[in-house]
Amino acid sequence: MGLISRIKQFCFVTLRIKKYKSLSDCKRVSGKPKLYFPLLLKGNGKVQFGKNFQNGVVESSCYYSNYNYILSMDHESEVIIGDNVVFSNGVSIYAKSKVTIEDKVMIGINCFIIDSDGHDLSAQERMTGIPKTAEITIKKNVAIYYNSTILKGVTIGENSVIGSGSIVTRDIPANVFAAGNPAKVIRNL
């Protein structure tokens, strides 16, 4: 990549990062993420970044057209991100209760993590009801690959890998490769 291209890329991405920072309204944020990619922080809850959190990967798809999104909905909602965590591009986290991502976790492109049903499942309560929630914990050294979804109440054990396109609906033990819809253990690592 030539010098002119690098300058254009730097200006374009820097302006996008500043734009999403100005649109963010989450006030209870601690830590200083390394922003290589736009990050939108919304809600009244708490967002805590550990040391060396990297938001975005330059040499990855969606770099010019997407952003990462963290919604910590209510005052008691929490998103806790450990040290040396890397989010690729297009990662979304919705926390109604609590999402914990421990140290040295890698989360791939277009992954979605949500600790609630979003809306109540009954037809009568769907628009007004309070959805069921359950905390999510992603333990140390986990890798979650492209287009995966982590649903409420899940714990993913240390050193495990979640394959691309997986939907994780129940706990995954430590030191395994899991994949599928719903995700199941494929083999030990």
Give me the percent of the chain exceeding a pLDDT of 90.
76
Q: What is the CATH number of the domain that holds 17?
A: 2.160.10.10
Give the pLDDT confidence of 92-103 residue by residue, as tens digits: 999 999 999 999
Mean pLDDT of the chain: 93
Q: Which domain holds residue 153?
A: 3-188
pLDDT at residue 61 above 80? no
For 135, counting Cβ atoms within 10 Å of its Cβ (0-12 exposed, 13-18 middle, 19+ buried), the class is middle
Distance CA 96, CA 116 (A): 6
Average pLDDT over residues 22-44: 95
What is residue 123's predicted lDDT score, i.e. its pLDDT? 82
Q: Which of 8, 34, 119, 170 is catalytic?
A: 119
Phi-psi region of 186 (alpha: psi -120 to 50; beta: other; left: phi over 0): alpha
Mean pLDDT within 120-146:
89
Read off the pLDDT of each residue in 78-88 and give the average, rounded to a whole number.
98
What is the tally of structural domains in the chain?
1
Q: Is 75 a catalytic residue?
A: no
**Whole-prediction pTM value?**
0.92
